[in-house]
Amino acid sequence: MDVSERERSARVVLVCGPAGSGKSTHALRLEREGFARLSFDEEAWRLGHRTHPVPGPVAEVVHARLREQLVALVGQGRDVVVDTSFWSRAARDSYRALVAPFGLVPVVHHLATPRDEVLRRLARRAGTGPHDVVVPPDLARDYLEGFEPPDPDEGPVVVVR
């Protein structure tokens, strides 16, 4: 693939952390700095999903839409922040592979929010919007226990506290 200078100059940030860690707030900050923001939760909400976890086939559709938009935006030379949990290395690697043909190496922003704070935030959720989806306590604990923090050997990682 012939990669233009404009495409090579784009930056991609993968915002990574469990539900309640502050990913969406962080992604919104980056959007105010000029990044195009892609949000898993907003796309799932648009599709009518109001509970966690989103069914597997729906998650696949949402990720397909995010990937398509990411490629289009990077192709335009835009900076992009992707707001989803990226709870596993495999998920992060799949998005890295997607932008590699553009000569880009995404930076992972790992929201390292203390467990007690995550649980406190999730307990206050009321289901009023895509970033306020209720996560029951048992599921919140499962999310925290299943989360795979990024390793430095994955590539650039910025820890956000």
CATH for 50: 3.40.50.300
Amino acid 10: pLDDT: 79
Q: Where are the beta strands (DSSP E) in the chain?
A: 12-16, 36-39, 80-83, 107-111, 157-160
Structure tokens at 63: 């990720």
Amino acid 59: pLDDT: 94
Q: Is the pLDDT reported for residue 160 higher than 90? A: yes
Mean pLDDT of 87-106: 96
- How many residues comprise the chain? 161
Structure tokens at 91: 């998920």
pTM above the 0.85 mark? yes
Mean pLDDT of 62-75: 97
Domain coverage including residue 92: 5-160
The percent of residues in the chain predicted with pLDDT above 70, rounded, is 94
Query: Alpha helix (H) ranges present in 11-151?
Result: 23-32, 40-46, 56-75, 89-99, 115-123, 137-146
> Which DSSP letter does residue 55 get?
P
Number of domains in the chain: 1
